[in-house]
Structures are given as structure tokens and as C-alpha cells.
């Protein structure tokens, strides 16, 4: 009789498939990649990891000296009129501190906590770059591969109307390092979807394919590889490269081959409007009266840049991702070369991405130093973010839901504040909040 009961129990378990229970808004928590299974066996950890925001909250980071860093962050937020922010700190691959501050949504009276996600703007480029490097490791492309022309990766008929023959010399690496030569003399194409739609005679907003077609009708600013000019459209093109080479949608490939193997289950491509926000996504603000611009849908309605003005849904790999500070550190821990958590890239690939060169930008990152400091910033109407790995083993992420008139320069103020605040704490707790991803989520989450 006991064998019959045992058989029935096993059948019910197999039918229910509890290892596939979804806690991440439609994303299966199980990952079937060979890499994750190998790492799970090596480190004797379960295959299932829960989203970090589901298993920790602000109070998990309270310790005797936490008020020192809290006061520094709160003072900084007041001085810059920041509604809400999130900060997370990692030491040698261990998440030792993570908190939200201020309001995630002031109108709804929701305080910021660890689980809240924010637009991360150009930090998205680091995610895209890792996707490209994964494809290189899989043998599906080389950084020296040409992107356009009959012999290029994007040799589809829609991309063959090329005005400047130099475009056919653009390589994948040129795009990664912002050295392709695409000029911004006529405005940033990724932020001109209405104007380009009108010029290309298509409905607004112009989609990514149309934006690329538009820049192919222009001349390059310089010969590819000979200079550097920061380019959002370059990472838009890399989005298409990932899709063409992988045979998958951009988000699907990144989620399956990059984020899930890294243990990140609460990162998504964002939407334009507040009513279409993602679960636990913050509300966005300006620190002063918001500038109203024509809506990106071509309706002519005047709207804030952060809700309907900028086409966030069209940014993709250039600036479209949404994440929490803790998730960004989990991602960083998988590409940092630190053995505390297994990396998803080979050591030589990480070295290639972070090698210092005086005459070129690093791959995916914005700045690297010979001493081993890496950082990637991002700004977008409604948000500012800085992800930084320090040479002393500490790494941190700071994100706001409020943009600032300093624009791209504001992350340097974030860096100064956090660097000063960290020096005030002499004894950080000996713990790793990432370990809690292996346990059943606690149901403390606020409603949205």
C-alpha cells in the first residue's frame, strides 16, 4: 500500500512541476542552460533561484552603522530633489547591503523598497554587449565581422540601401566601441522617432528597422575605427545583430542566454506610459517642472519626456531595460571575474571587455582604469543610474526615479556621494543576501 501512495505522490509532484512555478511576471524561474546546471552541480546549489526582490527587503540591511550611509543618501536626495532611489552594495561577489529610499510612487504613497525596478537607461548597453560577447563565445559571430552590405550580418534587403560605401566597413567591434562613425548632426535617431517617421513616410513612432534605414541614407562622420562618437543607434544596430545571429527575439535571447544564467529574473524591457508600467516599477519624475514635448506616437499631444515623449519601447539594447539595483549587482557578479559567483563569460572575454585603452572606449562599459575600476552610467528623462566596480573589491549600483538638469554629468555627482558615504562605514556585515535567492520568497511585497 505504501508503494501505491508513494507512486501517487510522485505523480502529483511531476504533474504540478513546482520547479517551474513562476514568481517573475511570466519568466520561468527554471533555466535549462548547460552552464547553469554545471554551476549548480559544482557549487551544490538548487537550479531554482528566486528574484532577489522577492526574498529581501529594506530591513534586511539594517545594522549598527547603516544609519551613516542612509543619512548620506537621504541628504543627497534632498539636495537634488530626488523622489526615490535604490542603492545596493556588493563585496567580493557578496551582496551585503540593499535598500530603497524615498518614494517609489509619491502619488500612490508607496515607499521605495528593494523590489522596486527602475529604467536603467544606457546601462542597458552593457547587457547588450554581454549578449554580443556570448554569441562570440558560442562561435556565431566574430567582433571583426562586417555588419552591413551583401557580406555583412545584416544583409537583409531592408538594409541594403546604403548611401556611404564606408558603412560596409563597419564591424561589430566598431559598434561596441562607438567607433562606427554614425553622426548625430541631425539629432539622435533613437530619440527622433516622430521626425524620422515623417521623413521616411511611415507612421510614428519610427521603429528600429526604420531608424537604421534612415541612418544608412546618411554619410558617416568618419571612417569606421578611426575615431569615437558616442552612438545610441550603434547599440540599436547591435540589437538587430543579436536577433539575426541568434535567430531569436532580442529580449528572448538576452533573458535566456545572459540574465537567467546570471541569476537575474526581474529585468525587463520597459514601456512608455505609467499605466503600462511593469510590476513593482517606480513612477518617474523630473527634479523641476518637466519639459513637455510632442508625444512619440505622432498624436501631437504635449507630454512629459518620461511618459510618452521618449519612445522607451523603441530603445531596446541601447537603453530600454528596467531593473533593480540588486539585480544589476547580480548581473555584474556574473561578468566580473570574481570566483565568488560563477561567471557567464570566459575570463579572456571579460578581459577583452575591460582592457584599458587610451584611444578607445571599452566594450559595454563607459570607463575602465588601469587599476581595475569599471563603471557604466545611464541617464534618461526620469532616471539616473551608476553601476561601478571598484578596485578594492566593492561594487555598487545607485538608481533614481528622478532626472536632473545636469543630465549625463549627474552620475559623477552620484559617484562622489557614494564614495564619500562608503568611507563613513567601518564595519560592514558579514553576510550574502544573494544566498536568500535559494529560499521561498517572503510575501511582504507592496501592491502596485
Judged against a pLDDT cut of 80, whether residue 20 lies above it is answered with no
Judged against a pLDDT cut of 90, whether residue 328 lies above it is answered with yes
Sign of CA dihedral 355, 359, 360, 361: positive
Cα distance between residue 40 and residue 37, in whole Å: 5
Judged against a pLDDT cut of 50, whether residue 364 lies above it is answered with yes
pLDDT of 378: 97
pLDDT of 47: 47
Radius of gyration (C-alpha) of the chain in whole angstroms: 22
Q: Count how many residues are written for the chain.
A: 448
Q: Considering the chain, what is the average pLDDT of its residues?
A: 89
pLDDT of 309: 96
Q: Would you give the DSSP letter of residue 157?
A: G
Say how many CA atoms lie within 13 Å of 258 toward its Cβ.
Answer: 29
**Spatial CA neighbour of 114 closest among 410, 417, 445:** 445
Q: Kindly indicate the confidence band of residue 165, based on its pLDDT and cuts at 50, 70 and 90.
A: very high
Cα distance between residue 240 and residue 132, in whole Å: 11
Q: Give the mean model confidence (pLDDT) for residues 138-155.
A: 97
CA distance from start to end of the chain = 49
Q: Give the mean model confidence (pLDDT) for residues 346-358.
A: 95
For residue 10, how many other CB atoms are within 10 A of its CB? Answer: 10
Judged against a pLDDT cut of 70, whether residue 320 lies above it is answered with yes
What grid cell was written down for 143? 567582433
Q: Which domains does the chain have, with CATH numbers?
A: 129-252 (3.40.710.10)
Q: Give the mean model confidence (pLDDT) for residues 228-249.
A: 97
Confirm if 13 and 7 have CB atoms less than 8 A apart.
no
pLDDT of 358: 86
**Spatial CA neighbour of 354 closest among 224, 176, 223, 227:** 176
pLDDT of 186: 61
pLDDT of 287: 85
Judged against a pLDDT cut of 50, whether residue 39 lies above it is answered with no
Q: Where are the alpha helices (DSSP H) in 336-409?
A: 347-354
Q: Following DSSP, what letter does each residue of 377-397 receive, concatenated? A: EEEETTEEEEEEE-TTSEEEE
Per residue in 179-237, pLDDT (tens digit) is 999 976 667 999 999 999 999 999 999 999 999 999 999 999 999 999 999 999 999 99
Judged against a pLDDT cut of 80, whether residue 13 lies above it is answered with no
Per residue in 379-394, pLDDT (tens digit) is 999 999 999 999 999 9
**Spatial CA neighbour of 129 closest among 14, 242, 291:** 242
**Spatial CA neighbour of 50 closest among 26, 16, 31, 24:** 24
Q: Following DSSP, what letter does each residue of 71-132 receive, concatenated? A: HHHHHHHHHTT--EEEEEEEETTEEEEEEEEEEEETTTTEE--TT-BEE-GGGHHHHHHHHH
> Can you tell me which residue has the cell 559617484?
415
Q: What percent of the chain has pLDDT over 90?
A: 80
pLDDT of 440: 67
pLDDT of 442: 59
Amino acid at each position: 500500500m505504501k508503494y501505491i501512495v508513494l507512486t501517487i505522490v510522485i505523480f502529483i509532484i511531476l504533474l504540478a512541476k513546482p520547479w517551474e512555478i513562476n514568481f517573475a511576471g511570466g519568466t520561468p524561474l527554471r533555466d535549462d542552460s548547460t552552464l547553469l546546471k554545471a554551476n549548480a552541480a559544482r557549487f551544490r546549489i538548487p537550479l531554482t533561484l528566486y528574484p532577489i526582490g522577492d526574498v529581501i527587503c529594506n530591513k534586511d540591511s539594517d545594522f549598527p552603522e547603516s544609519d551613516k550611509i542612509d543619512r548620506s543618501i537621504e541628504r543627497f536626495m534632498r539636495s537634488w530633489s530626488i523622489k526615490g532611489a535604490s542603492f545596493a552594495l556588493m563585496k567580493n561577489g557578496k551582496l551585503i547591503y540593499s535598500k530603497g529610499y524615498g518614494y517609489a510612487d509619491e502619488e500612490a504613497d508607496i515607499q521605495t523598497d528593494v523590489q522596486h525596478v527602475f529604467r536603467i537607461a544606457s546601462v542597458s548597453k552593457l547587457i547588450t554587449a554581454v549578449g554580443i560577447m556570448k554569441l562570440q563565445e558560442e562561435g556565431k559571430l566574430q567582433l571583426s565581422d562586417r555588419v552591413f552590405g551583401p557580406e555583412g550580418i545584416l544583409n537583409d534587403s531592408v538594409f541594403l540601401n546604403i548611401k556611404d560605401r564606408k558603412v560596409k566597413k563597419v564591424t561589430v567591434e566598431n559598434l561596441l566601441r562607438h567607433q562606427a562613425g554614425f553622426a548625430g548632426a541631425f539629432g539622435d535617431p533613437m530619440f527622433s522617432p516622430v521626425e524620422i517617421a515623417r521623413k521616411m513616410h511611415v507612421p510614428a513612432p519610427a521603429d528600429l528597422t526604420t531608424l537604421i534605414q534612415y541612418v544608412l541614407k546618411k554619410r558617416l562622420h568618419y571612417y569606421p575605427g578611426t575615431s569615437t562618437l558616442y552612438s545610441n543607434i550603434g547599440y540599436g544596430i547591435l540589437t538587430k545583430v543579436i536577433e539575426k545571429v541568434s535567430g531569436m527575439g532580442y529580449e528572448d535571447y538576452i533573458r535566456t542566454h545572459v540574465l537567467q544564467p546570471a541569476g537575474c529574473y526581474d529585468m525587463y524591457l520597459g514601456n512608455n506610459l505609467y499605466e503600462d508600467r511593469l510590476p513593482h516599477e517606480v513612477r518617474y519624475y523630473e527634479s523641476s517642472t518637466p519639459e513637455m514635448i510632442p508625444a512619440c506616437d505622432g498624436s501631437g499631444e504635449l507630454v512629459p519626456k518620461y511618459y510618452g515623449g521618449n519612445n522607451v519601447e523603441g530603445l531596446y539594447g541601447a537603453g530600454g531595460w528596467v531593473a533593480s539595483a540588486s539585480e544589476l549587482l547580480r548581473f555584474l557578479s556574473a561578468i566580473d571575474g570574481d570566483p565568488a559567483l560563477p561567471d557567464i563569460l570566459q575570463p579572456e572575454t571579460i578581459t577583452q571587455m575591460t582592457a584599458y585603452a587610451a584611444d578607445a572606449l571599452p566594450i559595454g562599459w563607459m570607463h575602465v582604469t588601469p587599476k581595475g575600476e569599471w563603471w557604466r552610467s545611464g541617464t534618461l528623462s526620469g532616471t539616473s543610474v551608476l553601476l561601478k566596480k571598484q578596485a578594492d573589491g566593492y561594487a555598487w549600483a545607485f538608481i533614481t526615479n528622478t532626472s536632473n538638469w545636469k543630465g549625463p554629468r549627474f552620475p559623477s555627482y552620484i559617484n562622489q556621494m557614494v564614495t564619500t558615504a562608503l568611507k563613513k562605514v567601518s564595519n560592514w556585515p558579514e553576510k550574502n543576501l544573494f544566498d536568500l535567492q535559494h529560499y521561498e520568497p517572503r510575501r511582504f511585497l507592496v501592491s502596485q
